[in-house]
Amino acid sequence: MNGHTGMPLPPGARDGQTFDGTSLLVRLANFVKLPHTVFALPFALVGVCFASAVRMPTLAEVGWVLVAFTAARFAGMGFNRIVDRDVDAKNPRTAMREIPRGALTVAQATAAVTVMSALFVFAAWRLNPLCFALSPVALLWVLGYSYTKRFTRWSHLWLGLGLGIAPVGGYLAVTGAWSSPWWVLCALSLAVMSWTGGFDILYALQDAEFDRRNGLHSLPSAIGVPRAILVARALHVLTVLCLAAVVWSDPLGLAARPDTAVAGALLWVGVALAAALLVWEHRLVQADDLSKLDAAFFTMNGIISMVFFGCVLGATVLGRGAAVVAA
């Protein structure tokens, strides 16, 4: 839809993964591409599942994790749209986003980002003192991403670490303490960071020439599309290795119990499926053919996060069920 007038956008002008409608709620949802929440939210819940081996979370805690993640993502994406509004207006691909085309004012966007930032901090406070203490740091990192394309080609990894906070936050929300062994949460965060950084590099391929002409930094604009694809592939290899390391660490405490072999195998199935889906994602993107980039970016990455979370959740339920039977 076009601004506040209720007139439909020209064919092909509407950005992908958005909703039809002119209400303020629809415009705000499209403003931050709400469906993209599916990328990293499942990994926040992976952190919750792994934390259940230490202490079972309450429904309220799971609810506040969902609120915290959604609010933080809204704040980060919204702030990025505000900071990039002038750049978005120049880029034909992004010129029809909400602020450039007048569907939202800067004041409305700023108010929404402020409210969501406050909601994130409040949700962290509701969880535990450690999450509350760390919430400003996480929020500043997420908001700071918006400026990184002004000075570094590695903004993709900054964004990746912003989403890599999700599983750590989910774990800390339940346990209020770091993992043991200490490196498990680090590896899980690195998995999400490299996964996100890799697919963000792929997404940036379509703007490589625009970024170069307008003095914006990105890996594709700095080293070219073919080399950027190779870096994305290397990052996704790292993703699989980190996920394998996490599963090898036995985060659900299944190895010492022979009755949980199926649950343990399900975790490895999750790693294998994530690897296979990443291979398929890279088959969709070629240096001389970016026509399937949208499917590789949204569809495949949404499936990857949901499939891996589904396997972790299944292993968690099976492991808990076996423990109850054994008791």
Distance between CA 275 and CA 242 in Å, rounded? 11
Residue whose token pair is 């990443």: 278
**Average pLDDT score, the chain:** 90
Residue 144, both tokens? 């700071």
Q: From CA 315, how far away is CA 272, in angstroms rounded?
A: 15
| Closest among 67, 166, 76 to 113, alpha carbons compared | 76
Look up the CATH architecture of domain 24-326: Orthogonal Bundle (1.10)
Q: Which residues contact 260 (CB under 8 A, 6 or more apart)?
A: 254, 318, 319, 322, 323
pLDDT for res 60: 97
Residues near 257 by Cβ (< 8 Å), separated by ≥ 6?
319, 322, 323, 326
Query: Distance between CA 46 and CA 35 in Å, rounded?
Result: 19
Q: Tens digits of per-residue pLDDT, 73-103?
A: 999 999 999 999 999 999 999 999 999 999 9
Share of the chain above pLDDT 90, in %: 78
pLDDT tens for 214-269 read: 999 999 999 999 999 999 999 999 999 999 999 999 999 998 777 788 999 999 99
Q: Could you tell me if 219 and 154 are in contact, meaning their C-beta atoms sit under 8 angstroms apart?
A: yes
- Full-model pTM: 0.91
| Local structure of 19: helix, strand or coil | coil
pLDDT at 1 over 50: no
Amino acid in the structure at residue 237: V
Q: Tell me: the pLDDT tens digits for 101-145?
A: 999 999 999 999 999 999 999 999 999 999 999 999 999 999 999
Q: Domain spans of the chain?
A: 24-326
